[in-house]
Amino acid sequence: MAVATMDIGSLSKRQSLISTLIIGFLFFVIGFVSWVNAILIPYFKIACELTNFQSYLVTFSFYIAYFIMSIPSSFLIKKTGFKKGMMIAFWFMAAGAFIFVPAAMTRTYQVFLLGLFSIGIGLSILQTAVNPYITVLGPKESAAQRISIMGICNKGAGILAPIIFAAVILKATDTNLFKELKAMDATVKNIALDELIARVIVPYICMGLILFCLGWLVRYSSLPEINTEHETAEVLTANASKKNILQFPHLVLGALAIFLHVGTQVIAVDTVIGYANSMHISLLEAKVFPSYTLLATICGYIFGIICIPKYISQVNVFRICTVMGIVFTLLIIFLHGQVYFLGHQADISIWFLVLLGLANSLVWAALWPLSLDGLGRFTKLGASIMIMGLCGNAILPLIYGWLADHYNVRSAYWILFPCYLYLMFYSFYGHKLRRWSVG
């Protein structure tokens, strides 16, 4: 049965405001569930005795679901509508949270990865719905501004997630425990590690129940079904000869840009604790560094909300962000020296890793409207292609982990350099392409 939809122009200001608030809440949930990985990676590395490469299978299992589910998600949303699709998304996420229970009871890393994959499937469906929704919920010139507001919701949750999770599962005595593990005999160590990993059971049961209930709440919320396939006469004429999604080069290149951007973003957040550990900063102290990175991202979002498009265009902000990414990456690799800042004694390079949060802040907000511009009836499928690009979260951290194992954790950040170079290319030229052949 077809889902009844509304055109954007027919929404009242009140409906638009309520819709924005609901979508903002969904971005908060996405952020909380996603960014808790920043603490899960070092936690599983200790509890399951993993290498750097193995520990970053957390992000691989979580985000590879985006690659697998992005196209099916678009067909699901088209068939069920936004709200039912979101409900199904929350239920997949709840199932993944519940899988953590048998995984913890047996301390089986592979089962944890299965749970993370299920959560990733749910998030893939949810992202396929909410990103095009907020992009078209107003003028395209201010899309970056709206997405910046959503980003604050997402990264605000990201600031809270590792701190709350660490407060629930870590104890003040764990620093000594982590030091003593290497000296323990096998039997005593297994008992200690079983007790350590069992701490995730109650939090993930609670998370699963909350996610299940949220699915019902979204399904019966006042969020309207909107028509994302309406085409103006200008867009209809421009797309008359287009038969498939691959005929939009700015979208295809934008999906690659998303792939690289999200990879750099996750590396900046999810590796910062491990980088701090390499400076002999304990896990209990290092747990706040992801929050610093995400706070820098929120500062960028606030700038975007205030200045875009009134004082500066979203394209120019995009360009500035890519240049900052290149500069900060080089400073991470080449700049050395101990500094004392915010109560931490650390190498100065870690603060440039934190500042990558600022460099990454407005890239996502610019990529979506630029990549989806003029797609018309191809919008949902185009959004699913963009979501497919989120598998960069799965691939790039693994490459970083491999480089960290074979070289060192600082040199591994070279992986960021070509990513920012491509993003700079897209910001200056790639987003303008409307056909593959030029001349």
- Give me the CATH number covering residue 75: 1.20.1250.20
**Position 91 in a domain:** yes
Cα separation, 360 vs 260, in Å, equals: 11
Q: Is residue 260 part of a domain?
A: yes
Average pLDDT, integer, range 53-63: 86
Rounded-to-integer distance, Cα 394 and Cα 332, Å:
22
Whether residue 1 is predicted with pLDDT greater than 50 in this model: the reply is: no
pLDDT in tens, 214-238: 899 888 887 777 665 555 555 555 5
What is the per-residue pLDDT for 439? 46
Greatest Cα-to-Cα distance within the chain, rounded to the nearest angstrom: 74
Cis status, amide bond into 290, omega within 30 of 0: no
Residues across the chain = 439
| Six token digits for residue 165 | 């999770």
Cβ(253)–Cβ(433) under 8 Å? yes
In a domain, 239, yes or no: no
Q: Is residue 6 part of a domain?
A: no
Q: What is the mean pLDDT of residues 367-392?
A: 81
Separation CA 369–CA 140 (nearest Å): 6
The overall average pLDDT reported for the chain is: 85
* Element containing residue 31 per DSSP (H, E): helix 13-35
Q: Which of 343, 265, 4, 33 is nearest to 164 (CA)?
A: 33
Exposed/middle/buried for residue 186 (C-beta within 10 Å: 0-12, 13-18, 19+): exposed
Average pLDDT over residues 63-73: 84
Q: How far apart are the first and last CA of the chain?
A: 46
Residue 2, phi-psi category: left (phi > 0), alpha (psi -120 to 50), beta (remainder): beta
Radius of gyration of the chain (CA): 22
Does 144 fall in a domain?
yes
Name, in order, each residue with C-beta under 8 angstroms of 224's C-beta and a sequence gap of 6 or more.
6, 11, 15, 19
Does the pLDDT value for residue 240 go beyond 60? Answer: no
Q: What percent of the chain has pLDDT over 70?
A: 90
CA distances from 195 to 47, 105, 433 (A): 9, 9, 56
- Retrieve residue 255's tokens: 């999906």
Whether residue 121 has pLDDT greater than 80: yes
- The stretch 188-197 carries a mean pLDDT of 89
6 secondary structure, DSSP code? B
Residue 141 CB partners (closer than 8 Å, separation 6+): 309, 314
The pTM of this model reads 0.75
Q: Are 255 and 385 in contact (CB under 8 A)?
A: yes
- Is the Cβ–Cβ distance between 47 and 101 less than 8 Å? no
The answer to the question of residue 238 being in a domain is no
Q: Kindly state the helix (H) or strand (E) to which residue 341 belongs, with its residue range.
A: strand 338-341
Q: Over 50: is that where the pLDDT of 2 sits? A: no
Do the domain assignments include residue 228? no
- Report which secondary-structure segment, H or E, holds 194: helix 186-197
Residue recorded with tokens 């107003």: 138
Number of domains, the chain: 1
Range with top average pLDDT, 171-175, 205-209, 312-316, 414-418: 414-418
Phi-psi category of residue 18: left, alpha or beta, with phi > 0 → left and psi -120 to 50 → alpha: alpha
Residue 345 lies in a domain: yes
∠ CA 397-402-407 to the nearest 5 degrees? 120
More confident residue, 269 or 437: 269
Q: 282 lies in which domain range?
A: 13-223+246-432
